[in-house]
Amino acid sequence: MAVEHQKYRQLRGIVVLMTLLWLLVSATFAHGVVVDGLYQAEVPVSGEEDAQLQEGYRAGLEQVLVRVSGDRNVMDREGVASRMENIEPLVESWQVEPGSSGEDQLQMVFSAQGVNRLLADAGARVWGANRPKTLAWIAVQDGGDRGLLVETGDRSGQGWSALIHDNAEQRGLPLVLPPADRASDRSLLSEVWGQFMGQISRASSGIEHDLLAVVRVRQSDGRWQASWLYQGRGIEQSRSVSADSPEALASAMVDAWAGELASRFAVAGDRIETDPYVNLVVEGIGSPSDYAAIKQALSRLNPVESVGATSVSRDRIVFRVEHAGGVAQLQQNIALDDRFRALTGGGDDDGGGESGRTDSGAIGQMLFYRWQDNVVAPSEAEDQ
């Protein structure tokens, strides 16, 4: 009996140690961030006459449609192009303010419901505000100099860092660069240039992120070229692009990243009107505040239409979650919030899995999670 108790204490000690290690590791990663301003736009205008405002509305709506759909070519869709003739009903508010360059700026807020409906009617995707954060390691060779892009805190310039951030902001893509103290690390620069993902992953410890982009930028024969590896959350993209200018190259690169993420997390427009639901079983409920936090977290996910509790017990709540799109897409969006730990169907905690019992296709499927209130909640996106 004493031997059994000793083994139990040893096993419990190992479990506690592994739990602490897991918490330390998971704390270095983000869980997706909530991007503000998806339906806002600001464009230069030459005046406040009706024709000038209409032109500004069109330019602003194009920004919003690309950002919300994740598709740079969304304006080519027939249903979108035809709606551009009558934009004013989509504008909730607007104002003209002096710009820093002396040019007036038209600031607009568009109706989220109206924009989503427009995209759905055109069969385009709708990508919600909860989006994964990319940590971009970018090595640039300009002439004979090679350097690593880092956070400088100054977004007003026209250097590479500002270009990357500006394009990411336009696409609604949460993105950070390594801290400024990494700029002088020549060994790390070589790792980025060689695109050694394993070593870069270790160097990323302590920097919140969901995805890693390791990029090599250089100029050849008068054109700028970028090649990258983009990984995380089941994504593994290896691509290259070229352009005539740094501005065009930064735009093409961020477009590729945003398009990849939208293809994973956005809801297809032709499925917006469907009303499938899942019964989401959440264990580990410790207080009424847990219930409120879970409901809030689920309600803000892009595919979710409504959330309500159908069963409440001592430490378990069953939520009925009505959603647009497929169940796999709902699971991908939930996975951005690490407070939800996926369990196997029935609630056996084996550390992962995304199975569940299907009663009738996508209608009535059961998903099981354990709530972890000691994990940091997704943060509001900082200004890019």
Distances (CA, A) of 85 to 61, 81, 272, 355: 11, 8, 24, 46
DSSP 235-270: EEEEEEEEESSHHHHHHHHHHHHHHHHHHHHSBPGG
**pLDDT tens, residue by residue, 180-210:** 999 999 999 999 999 998 889 999 998 999 9
Instruction: State the greatest distance between any 2 C-alpha atoms of the chain, in Å, as a whole number.
Output: 88
Distances (CA, A) of 79 to 22, 47, 120, 138, 263: 48, 29, 9, 38, 20
Paired tokens of 296: 């809030």
**pLDDT tens, residue by residue, 240-287:** 999 999 999 999 999 999 999 998 888 876 555 445 688 898 999 988
- The CATH architecture one would assign to domain 132-265 is 3-Layer(aba) Sandwich (3.40)
- The CA distance from 264 to 234, in Å, is 9
Q: Are 319 and 279 in contact (CB under 8 A)?
A: yes
* Mean pLDDT for all residues in the chain: 82
Paired tokens of 95: 């104002």
pLDDT at 363: 39
**Model confidence, pTM:** 0.67
Paired tokens of 112: 């989220």
Q: CB neighbours (10 Å) of residue 121?
A: 17
- The CA distance from 285 to 373, in Å, is 9
pLDDT at 29: 39
What are the domain boundaries of the chain?
35-121, 132-265, 274-371
